Structure 1
Amino acid sequence: MEYRYLGNSGFKISEITYGNWVTAASQVENERAIASVHAALDAGISTFDTADVYANTGAETVLGEALKGTRRQSIEIFTKVFGPTGPKGHNDVGLSRKHILESIDGSLQRLGTDYVDLYQAHRFDHFTPLEETMQAFADLVRQGKVLYVGVSEWTADQLRQGAALAKQLGFQLISNQPEYSALWRVIEGEVVPASEELGISQVVWSPIAQGVLTGKYKPGQPHPEGSRATDEKGGANFIKRWLQDDVLQRVQDLKPVADELDLSLAQLAVAWVLQNDNVATAIIGASRPEQVTENAKAAGVVIPAELMARIDEVLGDAIERDTSITATRSPQQREA
């Protein structure tokens, strides 16, 4: 495993992060989810990402159970706040001071720890003054419950505003967690340049495009039984945009590139996002421990420039680059 600094800080994390978004307390039974966390530790992964909203707090509980007995100082635990949790009442959502301060205590209890290494604003809150949000984060840093602060799916302008307020309050934003893959590049035009300017790294999710870049979905063929595309609990909704024969054929056409590097298609996809210097880590999920073991091998891989260019050529107009999409990721109205 290789390690990188997160933003303009002295904090190092593993190039591969284990995430348990839809794979703990949701699609995957707890025993297999815990085994996947242990496989991550065995592979040298030290960084673990979750959120209180995942499985309505259930994912944090599973992760906390899985990490019991692991030396706390040797791992990095990330979680997030924003989404509706608990009974989803009128104050159980957003980035108000009330919700942030109550949410961190719940997360710490479920995770079985006194602090989280990185606490992230899961989305931008259009209905709470940004000053209120950043002051709450500053207070948590001073209390020692949070070591570092990050955000997720913020636009370039939102990052600039948040970073300026953080600096005034005596801390810094060091990360942003966006979707990013060889097929989904909406952050490259504005978010990445702003982040480089501000000393913010990307902690990217869905580097294998919800599994499409693994090549397991074949054009003109039924989706594999038990795959995310057949999951009616919600997984199918996230992946359906990629399930077009043209896109699936382009992914199959990447196989010679992967073979040239002695990688699987999944490993190629994870290694691809890590070629971006502004990316500190790629979050991988898994429904089976062996998936973690295999995908962790993408760490440290260098893809030559000519092969990066060939990937661009193969994927062609299947690549999404529209920078305006990031602004649509944060709710424009309260969910509760």
Structure 2
Amino acid sequence: MSKHKNKGKKPVNNDIENEVKNAGNIAEADAAEETEEVFSETVEEKSEESSEEPVEEKSDVEETAADEETAEESDGKENAADTVRIAGADEETKKANEEFRKLSFGEKCKRDPLIPVSLLLVFVAIIVGAAYFILPNVICPSMGMTLEEFRTRFDAADISKALMNNGLDIGFIGIDYVDPDTNPSILGDKAIVSANRSFADFFEGESRSYLVNSGIDGATRKTDNELAYVRIYIEYAEDVNPVWMYFSNILLTLYPDLTMNDAMDISLKLMGEYNGSDVRFDSRGDYAFRMVPVTKNEVNYIAFDVVPKALLNSSQIRYNLDTEEKFAVASSAAVSETVQESVQESVQESAAST
């Protein structure tokens, strides 16, 4: 019966079966080993990664503080080194300076070219300063007052105020700076004293008076606006009283120590001494003045030319009022009364003509 059951089946070789089993066992063993190796490698990698990472991460603030502390330590070391180097350099500089001080001036200039260059620049600066401040004073002396000061004193003088009280104004208006080429002085070629346009500005204006044509022109220094000269001109005909009053008021403007009577006395005497052709000046104190007959636009004028006395030489002076006895102020009560009477008559005549 058993033979019947095994009929048609090949006999099984036990050796082959064992080999198959052994191969399967070997494969399983190899797979287990490979799995174990992979697992071991994975564990080792994770262990290495975990060992490389810090146990505790530092915050940005802590890192910044640490960097600053490191930088401060580095700076401190560098500063200490710099201090040592500077101290050494200072010692060398001191020694070099001491040696340099012992040298002669010529040797110093050879070693340091900046010394002669600096001295030259200082010299040039002095020359420029002298040219700007000193030269104008020499070439263009001033009258010691500005145009505005002259106008204020002219309007405040006693004769001007006396005439103003009677409705007569002899002051000046519309004074403007002009080009001397297109607006020359009233004196024209009769001018003895002029001003260098590099150092002076020129002006002109008219009188407020409606009774007589008059005006003013002159020049002021650029550096301080003080007058270089001034000219006041008054129309004249048969009546010389307006000329006399203007002349007297000019004297009061120039010389505050004069009284009205003194000024009118002096002006009356000077006008009596004038012959119409003398171009010389009369002087008192720091000023010199003269009368000049001129014609402008077919109108006859007397121009009073006032300049600094320093511009003139002795040959250009006719009378020195400081030394001439006949021009002494307040010479007599009789003269004073006569002058006062003449002033009143002049004012009354001028007022009546209005």
Q: TM-score band, normalised by the shorter chain?
A: under 0.3
- Structure showing greater relative contact order (alpha-carbon pairs closer than 8 Å, 6 or more residues apart): 1
Q: Which has the higher helix share?
A: 2
TM-score by length of 2: 0.24
